[in-house]
Amino acid sequence: MHIPDYYEFCCRVNIVTDHHALEKIPELLLSMGAKNPMVLTDKGVQAAGLIDIVIGAIDNKLSIKTIEDQVPPDSDLKIVNRLACVYHEKGCDAIIAVGGGSVLDTAKGINILVSEQAQDLMQFTGAGVLKQKLKPLIAVPTTAGTGSEVTSVAVIADHEKNLKMLFTSPFLLPDTAIIDPRMTLTLPPHITAATAMDAMAHAVEAYVMLSKNPLSDAHAIEAIKLICHHLVRVIKQPSDKKGRLALATAATMAGIAFSNSTVGMVHALGHSMGSVCHLPHGNCMAILLPYGLEYNLHKVEDEIAELLLPLAGEEIYACTPQKNRALKAIACIRELNQILNKATGGTHPICFKNIKDKQGNFLVTKKMLPEIARTAMGDGTIFYNPEDLDYEDCLMTIQAAWEGIPLDRSKIKQG
C-alpha cells in the first residue's frame, strides 16, 4: 500500500445514520444551544414532499422560524445575501439544509455571513480565511451523491460578475449530517443512477489521484463496494429502504474520501461539461469515469487494478491475472453503466451524443467540444491528476466520450 510522506485527514462531522435519523434533529440542535432554525431547501425538494417529512419529524420540538425554498440549482451570491438578511430578521440561530450540493453550498455561504456578521462574502474567499466556528449547521442530503454534507468547501457563483467563488475551511464542515433513507426513497431511477455514479466517481478518483492516503483509501473502497452491491437492486426496487441507506452511506463515505484526497480529470472535464452544456453532474461523471481511468492507466495501473476487488468481488478479482486487472476494472464501470442504461429504460446515458433535453434537442453537439476542453484547462482539479493534460488531451478524451468509444490509448502522450 502506498503511504505518502505527509497527509492530512479531517472529518469532524457527526454523522447520524438511521431509518429515523430525522427525528434526532431537535435533540442534536438543542445540544448545540440552538432552537430557532432556518430550514433551507429548493423547490424540487419541497415539491417532492420531503420538507413535510422533515417538519413532521421535528414535531414542534424546535421553533422553525422560516422555511426558504428559493435556492436555485446553481448556488447564487444574491440569494445567499438575501437569505442572510432573512436569517437575521427572523431571529434564526441555526440552519437545517435539506437538499443537494447547491442547497448545502448556499447554507455554508449564509452561515459565513451570519456568523461573521459580515455583508460581503468576497472577503472570505480562498483557503483558511475563516478563523472561528460558525453557527450550527445540520445537513440533510437528499441525493446520495454529492457528499457535500462532509466536505469543507463551498462554491458560490456571482452570476453578475460571472465568477465562481471558492471557499475552503474546516469550519465549513456541517456540525451534523443526517443520513435518513426517507430523503432518497422517492428519487426516480435515472437520478438515483446519476447521483450514485457521482459518488462512485468521488470514490474512484479519490483512490487513484495524487493526494490519496490510507485513510481516504479505506473510505473510497468501502463506498465503491456499497454502490456496486446495492445500486442496481435499488434501481429495480426503488422502495428498498436498506439499499437506499447503503447508497446514502456510500455517498457520504465517498465524500469523506475525496475531500481528504482529491478528485481529478473526470471532475475537471465534468465541471466544464456541466457549465458549457448544462448537463446534470452525475451523468457527466458516469460517462467520463472510465475515460479518466483509461487516460491515467499508465501512471496508476496498480491503483486501478486494486479497484477491481470492490468493483467486481473476490471471485472475479482472483480469476483475473494481475496484468489484466486494471483494464477489467475499467470494463466493470462501463458494464455498470450499460446495466443502468437498461434498468432505467435508456435514460441513464452512456455517451454524450445521445443526451437529449425534455424537448428532444441534443444537449451536447460536436461543436461545443473545443469550448469544453478549453474550460477544463482552467479547472483546479486538473492539478491533482496523475498524468498531465493539455488542450488536445482534454479534447481527445471528450471526443471519445461523446462518441462512446474507448480511448485510443496509443494517442496518449506519455512524457
Partner 1 sequence: METFIEIKPGRKPFQRIYLGIMLWFVGKAIQAAARVDNEVKKEFKGMPANYTFSLGAFPNGPYMIVGKDDKEKVRYLGSNISKHHVDLEITLKSMKNLFVLFTFRESTPIANSRDRMIVNGDLPQACAAVRILDIVQVYLLPKPLAKLAIKRYPRWSLKRHTVDRLMVLIRTITGI
- Does residue 5 bind partner 1 (CB under 8 A)? yes
CB of 153 to Fe ion, least distance (A): 12
Rounded to whole angstroms, the Cα distance separating 338 from 348 reads 8
- Does residue 379 bind partner 1 (CB under 8 A)? yes
One-letter amino acid for residue 148 of the chain:
S
Can you name the residues that pair with 221 across neighbouring β-strands?
A: none
CB of 270 to Fe ion, least distance (A): 7
Cβ contacts of 64 within 8 Å, gap of 6 or more: 36, 37, 38, 39, 55, 58
CB of 370 to partner 1, least distance (A): 15
CB of 211 to partner 1, least distance (A): 4
* In contact, 137 and 79? CB cutoff 8 Å: no
Question: Quick one: cell of 145?
Answer: 451523491
- The site partner of 14 among Fe ion, partner 1, none (C-beta below 5 to 8 Å per kind) is none
CB of 302 to partner 1, least distance (A): 17
x-marked contacts with partner 1 along 107-146 as a string, rule CB under 8 A: -------------------xxx------------------
Can you name the residues that pair with 166 across neighbouring β-strands?
A: 155
- Does residue 413 bind partner 1 (CB under 8 A)? yes
Q: Which is nearer to partner 1, 155 or 287 (CB)?
A: 155
- The site partner of 5 among partner 1, Fe ion, none (C-beta below 5 to 8 Å per kind) is partner 1
Rounded to whole angstroms, the Cα distance separating 226 from 280 reads 23
Q: Among the candidate windows 92-100, 243-251, 331-339, 383-391, which touches partner 1 by CB under 8 A?
A: 383-391
| The residue to which cell 461539461 is assigned | 273
* In contact, 347 and 191? CB cutoff 8 Å: no
Q: Among the candidate windows 62-70, 207-215, 283-291, 302-310, which touches partner 1 by CB under 8 A?
A: 207-215
Rounded to whole angstroms, the Cα distance separating 109 from 65 reads 19
What secondary structure letter does DSSP report for 48?
Answer: T
Note the residues at the interface with partner 1 (CB under 8 A).
4-8, 126-128, 166, 209-211, 262, 377-380, 382-384, 386-388, 413-415
